[in-house]
Structure 1
């Protein structure tokens, strides 16, 4: 199979006219860009590495927490890594966790930090971090400068507490890089785990606390690649066979996805002119039955469209790609029979290549060795999609209701997903919006609401590529409202993250303006930051904004 990564488009490989439109070049090779960068305005101190960053809120432990307890998990260099094994390190729970009681429930916050540097000529590269085969973090590297770049990512990994507290395991890190043919950049990275602990042990609420067991749906070691599966076309289905424990009362699959090669810029495809048009979705199937879907956020990596667009403020989601949850609880009735079941992933309309894997989060009944479950209703009409010469729309609905009998009683769970997609492509302009709604509600026989959550996502994207200016306006909007006896933490949280990046005159000047606002019942954070060239000209942040209402 041909090597596939973030950068294999247009300039390093020949792309058939049926796959990529010749009108749009959204990749500049690092060697060509180095020549352009040499005449562009330089960083203020070109003798030192330039710091790149993705705007995100700081991670704060809950009040009363102790810590952090910090453990360096792996330190490595990544030069020519194609067709080579991931870097690995033995993992065991840090001693400070044992001192705090040793249980996953002792962890109030877990943060995985990725810190890296690179100098020279190099593409941006995809990387992943796995623990025991379960992916914890996927990101794109910064595309380096001759004077070097440095960046860091901090991701909340508290939901993997059961993995972090488990016995001996293996940490794997893969950076898909190559050093040859003028590409000189070597990535150096440290992976560190920071743990915070509850001072007073508390019994975690059922169903909404971190899962008791996480089952990886990925490729296993040893292998000469990342642990992700690779989907190369619209008919590919990758699957993992899993025999579930008999006492599950809730199940959620978390999907990781990234897009590369001929499909890195899938959202710029014109219907009828480009391979399979601009619409993509990741489907989750259990024994061939559609269980749910994820409509991906259009992440733009740090070398995409024009690298100056993302210097020094990188694109939304570029350093830590988003993941997508699909509720499987209503379907447990067909999975608690002690037999192996196939959990499959596919990408609608896919073109080579998509990297996908998933984690199956399972909650186990502490009061019994076996639960019972049954399906009440299921509805999943066919995908509705239309296309004209310049516009593509799509919509989908999925709904399932099922009951689970456990020591908590007989609880009926309803899970729904609705999606809408609209993409207009006029050649110089691409205007796209993806909207996703997800809901889950778990009710007892007496009408008691144990937990519910309603989530709304919106992904607006506008690319305007005029003769003398390229502008990308990108947005991530997310709102979650939770309720019920078992609900804990923020019952309301809202994020509005908007970014506008422009390059004028082919690189004579460029600038980025980003507005980030997070509001929740337990806190908030806002940041407005503007750059011109490599300089930050304005940066205002606050944690004193008005908190969101309890809804």
Structure 2
């Protein structure tokens, strides 16, 4: 029954899923190796051992020097919740705060679990607007605890509204084998501003940007309740298109679509998926195919306006679960979101009528979960704004696949490039402002299959750059986001006979992003370099992990024009080997962002 659940099971992925003799795939494991390890080594009562704290390495949220007003929004025990409606709680902003002028608002998720359980994807929505997409940690017999803190200040206008509903979907199954219940608390902390200057949402600033960077209105582009599922759109295959109708106020002057994406089941490890030709030539069954390239495509009224080439998040049960204890994979506790500039298209949707956003995934296998939030800025000095789409150009995919294989052994190199450019103007109380948005994508995946498919090496790099250029007759504003996503895995399987084998896998994940915001006289920047390496091995008999090892090293470096943070940390089988962190900027230290980008240039 568990194997039919369309959510994150214990995906300890064996990348050499094909055996040379039978051409079949190895099954997923149905037992938690950490439970086996703990059971074998623990001689004291588990109740006397404190729970293990899991965490994702990330920079601390910058907070004002004020005391927050904190509210517990939801407390729930997620036991058998699969196939049930989301858990709901009423929401209103705090009414007993000394100040209602908040500088920063933080969502805090804290959960505990004990026993045996799979990793589960979950989402948190407020009035249909998604605030957090995340994956649960997998428990151990002695218990675990983890906390996720996310700055949700950009949802300020939504968070200030009364009489709303917070919805949480976490599809879990509890039975005699899988005993782990997720005990969850969700709180929101509201930090007042240090000065008394109030936020004046809706007033125009330079170049049509709000003086405040947060939108006046956030429109959910998600499924409507009631549901026995999350509010995300499930995309089952490459021809599946999911659509949501919406309308915007006729005095909008700027709009940005924030897209949430996660991938599961046959596409959970899409960078390792095999080319269909290879599968057919070798008469393979039970495979994950369609090759290793995926794109989330976003359309407005049937026309493509933007895309997402996502970072390859590895969930807490992926590859080898011992890799992610206690340090979880990059993005696993707070999946990244992706912005698409909608401002050039405002002229086509300011008519007061209903329009459509649609989502699809190129080459998709089941299942992808996609939804979005439309952030809208309002010109409160005008009853109506106007606009026009001047130019929209999206280059088709330029795909190159070079295959060289004999039987089950071979090499496959996939390269893809694409660009999407849109230009339009909006007439507001500030004047006529022209916005040009450009997305540029580069992708390369090199896959080597050897030892009659008992060995697989995959190296993949995605270059994903966004540029938004805004100008009026007197000034220019430029925003850039330059991203480089790295995924590498080297896996090997050795058959030990009698239904047992050894699985060895080394993995590298890299998330690098450079942001620049330049308005001529004023500019800002930030650079993030996050690199994670893991080495794991498991001895498996049948579907049980007899023993295993997982070691992880991570270096995290962040810097902007006001703040710096670094952390260098390593763990092995639940134990922290070393941990160094600080917040001092080093002017002599060279950024590795360009080095990473150049090494994997396309």
TM-score (norm 1): 0.91
Q: Could you tell me whether the CA contact under 8 Å between 1:271 and 1:391 is conserved in 2?
A: no
Aligned to 2:382: 368
Name which of 6, 9, 21 aligns with 1:7: 9
Name which of 414, 419, 422 aligns with 1:400: 422
Aligned to 1:112: 107
Long gaps (5+) in structure 1: none
Q: How does 1:409-448 map to 2 (within 5 A)?
A: 409-427=431-449, 428-446=456-474, 448=475
Indicate the structure (1 or 2) with the bigger Cα radius of gyration.
Answer: 2
Aligned to 1:455: 481
Q: Could you tell me whether the CA contact under 8 Å between 1:126 and 1:140 is conserved in 2?
A: yes
Aligned to 2:599: none
State the secondary structure of the residue aligned to 1:162: helix
Q: Could you tell me whether the CA contact under 8 Å between 2:323 and 2:573 is conserved in 1?
A: no
**Quick one: structure 1 residues 296 and 31, their matched pair in 2 at CA, closer, same or farther if it must change by over 3 Å?**
same
TM-superposed deviation, 1:32? 6.1
1:215 corresponds to 2:255: no
State the secondary structure of the residue aligned to 1:30: coil
In 1, distance between residues paired with 2:527 and 2:43? 37
Aligned to 2:302: 288
Q: Could you tell me whether the CA contact under 8 Å between 2:34 and 2:140 is conserved in 1?
A: no
Aligned to 2:30: 29
Name which of 159, 164, 169 aligns with 2:159: 164
State the secondary structure of the residue aligned to 1:466: strand
Q: Could you tell me whether the CA contact under 8 Å between 1:9 and 1:262 is conserved in 2?
A: no
Q: Could you tell me whether the CA contact under 8 Å between 2:413 and 2:444 is conserved in 1?
A: yes
Q: Could you tell me whether the CA contact under 8 Å between 1:249 and 1:371 is conserved in 2?
A: yes
Q: What is the CA deviation profile of residues 365-413 of structure 1, one whole-angstrom value per residue up to 9, with x for unaligned ones?
A: 0210100101111110212222233121111100011000001111000
In angstroms, what is the RMSD of aligned CA positions?
A: 2.6
How many residues were matched structurally? 530
Aligned to 1:509: 549
Q: How does 1:227-246 map to 2 (within 5 A)?
A: 227-246=231-250
Q: Could you tell me whether the CA contact under 8 Å between 1:31 and 1:182 is conserved in 2?
A: no
In 1, distance between residues paired with 2:311 and 2:391? 30
TM-score (norm 2): 0.83
TM-superposed deviation, 1:363? 0.3
State the secondary structure of the residue aligned to 2:240: coil
Q: Could you tell me whether the CA contact under 8 Å between 1:526 and 1:543 is conserved in 2?
A: yes
State the secondary structure of the residue aligned to 1:330: helix
State the secondary structure of the residue aligned to 2:296: strand
In 2, distance between residues paired with 1:391 and 1:96? 60
1:256 corresponds to 2:256: no
State the secondary structure of the residue aligned to 1:108: strand
Aligned to 1:335: 349
**Quick one: structure 1 residues 226 and 6, their matched pair in 2 at CA, closer, same or farther if it must change by over 3 Å?**
same
Name which of 576, 580, 595 aligns with 1:536: 576
TM-superposed deviation, 1:133? 0.7
Q: Could you tell me whether the CA contact under 8 Å between 1:8 and 1:260 is conserved in 2?
A: no
TM-superposed deviation, 1:240? 1.0
Q: Could you tell me whether the CA contact under 8 Å between 1:42 and 1:534 is conserved in 2?
A: no
Name which of 349, 352, 364 aligns with 2:363: 349
TM-superposed deviation, 1:183? 1.0
In 2, distance between residues paired with 1:271 and 1:497? 30
Q: What is the CA deviation profile of residues 174-222 of structure 1, one whole-angstrom value per residue up to 9, with x for unaligned ones?
A: 1111113611111011001011122221556534611000000111222
1:499 corresponds to 2:501: no
1:482 corresponds to 2:510: no
Q: Could you tell me whether the CA contact under 8 Å between 2:508 and 2:534 is conserved in 1?
A: yes
Q: Could you tell me whether the CA contact under 8 Å between 1:462 and 1:474 is conserved in 2?
A: yes
TM-superposed deviation, 1:33? 6.0
In 1, distance between residues paired with 2:460 and 2:423? 32
Aligned to 2:323: 309
In 1, distance between residues paired with 2:214 and 2:423? 23
In 2, distance between residues paired with 1:444 and 1:4? 49
**Quick one: structure 1 residues 22 and 399, their matched pair in 2 at CA, closer, same or farther if it must change by over 3 Å?**
farther
In 2, distance between residues paired with 1:67 and 1:209? 23
In 1, distance between residues paired with 2:42 and 2:322? 11
Aligned to 2:177: 182
Q: How does 1:457-472 map to 2 (within 5 A)?
A: 457-467=483-493, 469-472=504-507
**Quick one: structure 1 residues 387 and 37, their matched pair in 2 at CA, closer, same or farther if it must change by over 3 Å?**
farther
Aligned to 1:49: 51
TM-superposed deviation, 1:29? 2.5
Name which of 134, 140, 143 aligns with 2:138: 143
**Quick one: structure 1 residues 391 and 318, their matched pair in 2 at CA, closer, same or farther if it must change by over 3 Å?**
same
In 1, distance between residues paired with 2:391 and 2:43? 61
In 2, distance between residues paired with 1:240 and 1:182? 39
Name which of 213, 224, 229 aligns with 1:225: 229
TM-superposed deviation, 1:545? 2.1
Q: What is the CA deviation profile of residues 59-115 of structure 1, one whole-angstrom value per residue up to 9, with x for unaligned ones?
A: 1224xx522211111010101111111111110111255x424xxxx3211111110
TM-superposed deviation, 1:23? 5.5
In 2, distance between residues paired with 1:350 and 1:37? 38
Q: How does 1:113-128 map to 2 (within 5 A)?
A: 113-128=108-123
In 1, distance between residues paired with 2:81 and 2:18? 27
Deviates more, 1:461-470 or 1:417-426: 461-470
TM-superposed deviation, 1:35? 3.2
Aligned to 1:268: 272
State the secondary structure of the residue aligned to 1:426: strand
